[in-house]
Amino acid sequence: MTKRIGGARRKTRHIFMKGFRKKGKLSLTKYFQSFAVKDKVKFMTESSVQNGMYNRRFHGKVGSIIGKRGECYKVELYDGAKRKVLIVHPVHLTKLK
């Protein structure tokens, strides 16, 4: 077998980069936000927090909350026709209206 080069954050310098006005300290409101079951959320990585981060292929996608595990949330989304469940920290999620 060939050896894999790089990890989960490979080639993410620009995709996870914060905007010019978003840099600085992370707000605690975003860190401790809560969601209810069936809420629609968008995956937007907070690059200053590495724990509870998802794979980069799901960046910008939309899913729905199906449960909670510890301080993270179980989020269901469809990758093509396949259903996937990710466990994501709430700092990486944005609630859709």
Which helix (H) or strand (E) segment holds residue 30: the answer is helix 28-31
Report how many domains make up the chain: 1
Q: Indicate whether 59 belongs to any domain.
A: yes
> What confidence category does residue 9 fall into, taking pLDDT thresholds of 50, 70 and 90?
confident
Cβ within 8 Å of residue 91, ≥6 positions away:
26, 30, 31, 33, 46, 49, 52
Q: Classify residue 83: in a domain, yes or no.
A: yes
Which tens digit of pLDDT belongs to each residue from 15-73? 999 999 989 999 999 999 999 999 999 999 999 999 999 999 999 999 999 999 999 99
CATH number of 75's domain: 2.30.30.70
Query: Structural domain of residue 76, as residue ranges?
Result: 34-95
pLDDT at site 97: 85
26 within a domain of the structure (yes/no): no
pTM reported for the whole predicted model: 0.89
Residue 22 domain flag: no
Q: Is the pLDDT of residue 85 over 90?
A: yes
